[in-house]
Every structure is written in C-alpha cells, then in structure tokens.
Structure 1
Amino acid sequence: MKRIAVFFFALVLCGAAAAALAAGDAAKGEQLAKGCACHKSKGDLNGKDVATLTAAMQAFKEGKGANKAMIFIMKKQSDENIADLAAYYASLPKK
C-alpha cells in the first residue's frame, strides 16, 4: 500500500511540473515577440486563449496553413518558445 501511495504522489508531482512547464513564460514571450511587427500593430492575437494560440503556432510549425511566412518563422521555434509566445499574446488585453 505504501508503494502505491508513493507512486501516486510521484505521478501527481510530475503532472504538476509538466503543467507548469507547458504554461509558458509571458515575459520571455514578450522578448520573442519584439520581431512580430505585424501582429503587434494589428493586435489580432491579443487576449486569445493559450490553447488556441499554441495550436495555431504548432500547425504552422508542422507546415500546415497557407501563410508561408508564418510557416517559415514557426519552423524555427522550439516548443518552449511557442508556449512563451502563446502566454504573452494571451496576457494582452483585446483590442
């Protein structure tokens, strides 16, 4: 019984750590977004939820979509950068 409790605790701890890492860092995302003049001026990504932003960026990273410029840009981004960018844009007030 003790082993099951320890295993369960370890699973919960790992899950919490993974969720924290997946959340992204908005401050790092802000630094990464400095080169995103198009979206910064439009404000079209501001306030969207993280899951939507992440899914869109991951799709571009995988080469999906019609915007060749975004595909080119996102293919260079790590999953951590994508999470940070999503956290940043989600934290901005909607325009």
Structure 2
Amino acid sequence: MKRIGIFLFLLVFGLAALALAAGDPAKGGELAKGCACHKSKGDLDGVDAAALTAKMQAYKEGKGENKAMISIMKKQSDQDMADLAAYYASLPKK
C-alpha cells in the first residue's frame, strides 16, 4: 500500500513539473512585449518550444556570440524561458 502512495505522489509531482515546464503562452506574451527585435522580424514565430528553450538556456549559460541576448537571458528564470518559448511556438509562422 505504501508503494502505491509513493507512486501516486511521484505521478502527481511529475505531472505538475511537466505543466510548469510546458510554459504559459499568455505569460510569455507579456514577457515578449520587450522583445522588439524578434517581434518586428517574426523570426521566432512558430519555432519549436523545446528548441527555443535550449537556445535561451545556452544564452543564459553565456554561450553564443550575441552579447545582448546573453545579458537578457541571464536575468530570466527557467519559468520565464518556458513561458517565452510557449508564446513564440504558439504563433503562426510568417
């Protein structure tokens, strides 16, 4: 019986973690209001959320040539990055 309780706890915890990891497009839209460059270009519209998250994480870790993006991403939480990725992934490709 104890194993079932532990299993259920882990299942619920895991589902909650997945929900957080998925990101909230509405919150991401609010965060993206400051992204004038990408908004005008539309270059991130419809891009896979996992790919965007990986790219943002790399910038956060200081990887890449774009010093502006490195600086911006270092200030973002993991949840902010998930929300931004969900927002851009939800937009139709231009």
Q: TM-score, normalised by structure 1?
A: 0.96
Residues 1:69 and 2:68 aligned together: yes
User: 1:52 Cα deviation (Å)?
Assistant: 0.2
| Structure 2: 5+ residue stretches without partners | none
Q: TM-score, normalised by structure 2?
A: 0.96
Which aligned runs of 4 or more in structure 1 are off by greater than 2 angstroms? none
Number of matched residues? 94
Q: Which residue of 1 aligns with 2:77?
A: 78
Write the letter of the residue equivalent to 2:36: A
CA RMSD after TM alignment: 0.7
| Structure 1: 5+ residue stretches without partners | none
User: 1:66 Cα deviation (Å)?
Assistant: 0.4
**SS of corresponding position for 2:57:** helix
- Percentage of pairs with the same residue: 71
Residues 1:45 and 2:44 aligned together: yes
